[in-house]
Amino acid sequence: MGDFFRRIRLPLAFAALVLLTTFFMIGDQRAARGERVDAPWPLSALLEAAAPIQRAVRWPIERARESWAEYVALVDIGRDNAELRARLVGLEEENLQLREALVESGNLRRVAAMRREFESELLPARVIGQDVSPYFRSLLLDRGRDDRVLSGMPVVSDRGLVGLVTATTPSAARAMLLVDRRAAVDAVIERSRALGIVRGVGTELLEFAYLVRGADVKVGDAVLTSGIGGVYPKGLRIGKVVSVRANAGDLVHTARVAPIVDFGQLETAFVALARGPSMRLLYEGDGDAQSDASAGEASAP
């Protein structure tokens, strides 16, 4: 009996598969005609058994497809981000250039106006260094004796007075700033014409000392060079009065003055290629009098 079943098990299995296939085909045809057909229990059992297997097989495939889609999307996003960053850098650079152009246009107008007012030639010089120690305040300029720059020549900017050249080499010069403790300038209040002397005190503010009691000096007054003393040309802007100390018992009245030039932001200055009378007398015979004469000839109107 056992041998009989072993011999016919393959034909029985084949016959069962054929019957199931025929049964499924008939069911599919009825379903295709629109008839409602409930799946028989063998098919339901088969589907229930096959569904988890199919899900397990499809899961890594779907994950791989989704991962690939996400990777491609990330690559595209990264490329777009790189392009946007490049465009942003370009726009920022363009914006910076436009701002610089606006600043330069304003500076050039002021420089042109200043040059029309000066009787002597103005030589542009680039600031290449600063000395900001508590005792000395000076600039290092990239122009020197080879460019006709000599000690005693005033240094100005498009805003106003900067200082005075105190030392030179063939290719560089050092300019003492107004805020240096050694600096002193004969000055006048633009509004009231009160005379005095502006001195550096080693801080960011200047001191304006005037001897005339009752002189009209008020906060906000503009302070200019007076031209007295023969060092600086007349009418250069120095700064504005920010405070006044005028006690009745004081012999000398003083006021604090904020410089019109921001020395920390100064990039370009101009050397007036002419010494005042006092400077010519002071530096005569110091080794560059001949250069001073040539500079005077070149700057003569």
- Among 131-135, 143-147, 265-269, the range of highest mean pLDDT: 143-147
Query: Mean pLDDT in the chain?
Result: 76
Residue boundaries of the structural domains of the chain: 12-117, 122-299
d(CA 20, CA 25): 9
Note the pLDDT tens digit of each residue in 193-218.
999 999 999 889 999 998 676 678 99
d(CA 294, CA 282): 17
Tell me, what's the pLDDT at 114? Answer: 62
Tell me the average pLDDT across 149-160: 92
Determine the topology of domain 122-299 in CATH. Answer: Thrombin, subunit H (2.40.10)
The residue type at 34: G
According to DSSP, the β-strands at 195-200 and 206-210 are antiparallel
Tell me, what's the pLDDT at 105? Answer: 47
How far out from the chain centre does Cα 162 lie?
24
Contact 298, 149 (CB under 8 A): no
Confidence of residue 73 (pLDDT cuts 50, 70, 90): low
Confidence of residue 135 (pLDDT cuts 50, 70, 90): confident
Tell me, what's the pLDDT at 296? Answer: 37
Tell me, what's the pLDDT at 289? Answer: 43
Percent of the chain with pLDDT over 90: 34
Confidence of residue 63 (pLDDT cuts 50, 70, 90): confident
Q: Where are the beta strands (DSSP E) in 113-160?
A: 122-132, 137-141, 154-156
**pTM of the entire predicted model:** 0.58
